[in-house]
Amino acid sequence: MRARTVIAGRARTGAVALLATSLLLAGCGSDDGTDDPAASGPEAQNVAAAAQLKATWPLTGLPVSGDDEAAQKHPVMVLKMDNTAASAPQVGLGSADLVVEELVEGGMTRLAAFYYSRIPGDVGPVRSMRASDIGIVSPVHATVVTSGAAQVTINRIEGADIPWFTEGDKGFYRDSGRHAPYNLFTDMSETATLVDQDGAARPDDYLPWGDDKDFPQGQPARTVAASFSGGHTTNWTFEDGTYVNENTYAGAGDEFPADTVLVLRVRVGDAGYRDPAGNPVPETQFTGQGQALIFHDGRLVRGQWTKESLGAPLELSTPAGELSVPAGHTWIELVPQDGGSVRFGK
């Protein structure tokens, strides 16, 4: 067992009361077994549609079943995870429902790992937030788990009413077998208990989920190279029904099980300050619209993404109409329009 230095827990002032809702299935019909004309009318259909929505996980679109139908005792938790060689091995990535990869300073990337359907134990290394995270986490009213941020970023995060926990809060500790700043971890199951359990309704779906049968044919594409800069490219290969990250830093057996890789071309601006090494900090501008490339089942479908505001849901479309993402685990690449590129092969 690795040695670890435990940090005394403290609850962050102003932590927001978030999700605690029962995922109930609605039924139609009368108690005595007689036919009810209203049971097949528009109102009943709306109830059935709502029940179906509650019976799927918002971050994957996968069915909720069995004991998982119990009310969640936590909001969506998003952990900011290092994504450089110094983070190896990353811990807990395989337990995430969804992952967003974003550009940070120096041409490197950082991960926003989303946890909801299950909350793991140890996760990390935990790193700092960026202003880019506002548009990433706001649509599902997530709580961020982070090592902190520059004060200008903290001001913007708190101005967007995003709750967050950091070193000193319950669950955080330093792994004595690693060197700083890559040694900060948290036991997510402990950190999640800091949030008020009397909360709001189930979060909205993060993506427009659909079925494999509704996914367009597209074109063959079994390899993907998402380049964020001249210094970092994330490579994927479609094998045995899932996408394998060829240059992941995840621990063996703890890799993210990507059913879909969704590449969104985004504008990147300047966050207005520099990191301690003097590098300008970029800010992904996750609003507006841009090109979307959906890689699923060894195929590529091209479309467009639209996001009306930082807190708005992501919408996808093609010239033929609305586009959905097949339910499953999705890795989202926020690749810069300028300075980034996407390559794929059969």
**Other CB atoms within 10 Å distance of the CB of residue 274:** 13
Q: Which of 273 and 294 is assigned the larger pLDDT? A: 294
- List of residues 6+ apart from 147 with CB closer than 8 A: 80, 126, 127, 128, 166, 167, 181, 184
**Angle (nearest 5°) at CA 120 between 115 and 124:** 85
Which residue ranges make up each domain of the chain?
Answer: 209-345
Q: Which three-class secondary structure string do you get for 44-55?
A: HHHHHHHHHHHC
Please answer whether residues 144 and 295 qualify as being in contact, where contact means their C-beta atoms are separated by less than 8 angstroms: no
Q: 150-154: which pairs have CB atoms within 8 A and are 24 or more residues apart? A: 150/273, 150/281, 152/271, 152/272, 152/273, 153/128, 153/129, 153/271, 154/129
Q: By C-alpha distance, which of 211, 210, 203, 255 is closest to 59?
A: 203
Where b means 16+ CB within 10 Å and e means fewer, 160-184 reads eebbbbbeebbbbbbbeebeeebbb
Q: Which of 17 and 125 is assigned the larger pLDDT? A: 125
Instruction: Tell me which of 44-58, 72-86, 88-102, 116-130 is least confident.
Output: 44-58
pLDDT in tens, 238-276: 999 999 999 999 999 999 999 999 999 999 999 888 887
CA distances to 96, 171, 205, 324 from 305, rounded to whole Å, are 23, 37, 15, 11
pLDDT in tens, 66-99: 666 545 667 899 999 999 999 999 999 999 999 9
Summary mean pLDDT of the chain: 85
Please answer whether residues 234 and 333 qualify as being in contact, where contact means their C-beta atoms are separated by less than 8 angstroms: yes
209-345 adopts what CATH topology? YerB-like fold (3.50.90)
- List of residues 6+ apart from 122 with CB closer than 8 A: 91, 92, 185, 186, 187, 188
pTM for the whole thing? 0.85
> What stretches of 66-177 adopt beta strand conformation (E)?
77-82, 98-103, 109-115, 122-123, 143-145, 164-165, 172-175
Q: Strand 223-229's sheet: what is its strand order? A: 242-245, 232-239, 223-229, 341-345
pLDDT in tens, 171-209: 999 999 999 999 999 999 999 999 876 655 689 999 999
The secondary structure element, H or E, covering residue 157 is helix 151-159
Instruction: Tell me which of 17-26, 40-49, 255-264, 284-293 is least confident.
Output: 17-26
Dihedral sign, CA of 161, 291, 106, 272? negative
